[in-house]
Amino acid sequence: MQRRQALALGAVAGILPTIGASAVAATPASTSGTKVPVRTRPIVIRDVEIGAGRTKTIVSLIEMTPDAVLSRARLLGSMGEVDVVEYRIDFLDRALDPQVVAATMRPVADAIKGKPLVVTFRTKAEGGQKAIAPAQYAAVYQAILQTGAGDLFDIEAALLSDPAVAALRTSVQAAGRKVILSHHDFAVTPSVELMVGLLRQQQALGADICKLAVMPHDTGDLLRLLEATWIMRRDHGDRPLVTMAMGGIGAVSRLAGEAFGSALSFGALGDPSAPGQVKVAQLRDTLAIVHDAIAG
């Protein structure tokens, strides 16, 4: 994981000169208000508007067998507090077999009853369940794409240097689906400058949604993540962002994302898919309270 983090940060250093030194300028936050700038272009997926209004809830399918995944998908499809469903492919026992994975897609998409479906294979290097070579990673996603199921595809930005993964991103968007480019650091919280740089890199690489998850060790780390989110939204971002600080300290970032510019918040139903997730019913209620307060 440390090698992947170094590669990602090196990539940021390489791309920053091409997108402007202002990408890493940690300028003070404006005091004129906390509303997200209206220049953000929301994404509408199956009547769910991501990037405008209340931060939307998302819950992950993390079961290990197709039958268990389908059972949980039916439950999520019936829950009004769940806006978006994420299918964590890497939790499947046979996640490395493209055809086995592809066969699960249409039943899952039908079971969630029209909710937007995010497809994610989180690699071991970024906190997922399984190690996978980039070519195999792309093959699994390409097989899923061919089924016509899945609305958004989470692709780890650090893998885009591989030609097969770069071609995957192009294929997903050519098929009319959306790409989430993501970066996860389960060890530390980088500097504000580097976090803004990572998000700007994702935007420059063609992400429809930019995602960043980091691990805080104290409140200062949490505040840096929130500051980076707001700077990105205020000064650079023209598309939805999803950011979070993990663990208990980071819970504030999951609950108050709308104030800083985060469009989705992961909630738990049973076992969480990442540290610090709040139960989805409580999360939805809190997000609504925050939204009403911001709206005045």
Q: What is the domain extent for residue 265? A: 51-295
pLDDT digits (tens, 9 = 90+) for 146-181: 999 999 999 999 999 999 999 999 999 999 999 999
User: What pLDDT, on a 0 to 100 scale, did the predictor assign at position 273?
Assistant: 73
Give me the sheet containing 178-185, strands edge to edge: 241-245, 209-214, 178-185, 152-156, 117-120, 84-88, 56-61, 264-268, 278-279
End-to-end Cα distance, the chain: 43
Q: Which residue has the tokens 């240097």?
A: 161
CB contact set of 127 (below 8 Å; sequence gap of 6+): 1, 184, 186, 274
Residue 102 has pLDDT above 50, yes or no: yes
Domain-located, residue 200 = yes
Domain-located, residue 27 = no
Q: Are 199 and 15 in contact (CB under 8 A)?
A: no
Q: What's the whole-number mean pLDDT along residues 28-43?
A: 59
For 87, 118, 183, 244, 265, the CA distances from 215, given in Å and listed in that order, are 22, 23, 12, 9, 16
Domain-located, residue 42 = no
Residue 70 has pLDDT above 70, yes or no: yes
Residue 22 has pLDDT above 50, yes or no: no
SS3 category, 88: strand
Domain-located, residue 173 = yes
Predicted confidence band at 293 (pLDDT cuts at 50, 70, 90)?
very high
% of residues, the chain, pLDDT over 90: 83
Domain-located, residue 4 = no
Predicted confidence band at 101 (pLDDT cuts at 50, 70, 90)?
very high
| 291 flagged as catalytic | no
Q: Where is pLDDT greater, at 75 or 37?
A: 75
Q: Indicate the pTM of the whole model.
A: 0.88
- Report the number of distinct structural domains present in the chain: 1
Give the Cα separation of 174 and 169 in Å (integer). 9
Residue 296 has pLDDT above 70, yes or no: yes
Domain-located, residue 34 = no
For 60, 82, 157, the CA distances from 20, given in Å and listed in that order, are 36, 38, 19
pLDDT digits (tens, 9 = 90+) for 226-253: 999 999 999 998 999 999 999 999 999 9
Q: Of the residues 184, 217, 236, 291, which is catalytic?
A: 184
Residue 161's Cβ-side half-sphere holds a number of Cα atoms within 13 Å equal to 10
Residue 122 has pLDDT above 90, yes or no: yes
Domain-located, residue 46 = no
The CATH number assigned to the domain holding 99 equals 3.20.20.70
| 211 flagged as catalytic | yes
Domain-located, residue 188 = yes
Q: Which residues are annotated as a binding site for 3-dehydroquinate?
A: 60, 86-88, 122, 254, 273, 277
Residue 69 has pLDDT above 50, yes or no: yes
User: What pLDDT, on a 0 to 100 scale, did the predictor assign at position 182?
Assistant: 99
Q: Of the residues 130, 211, 217, 279, which is catalytic?
A: 211
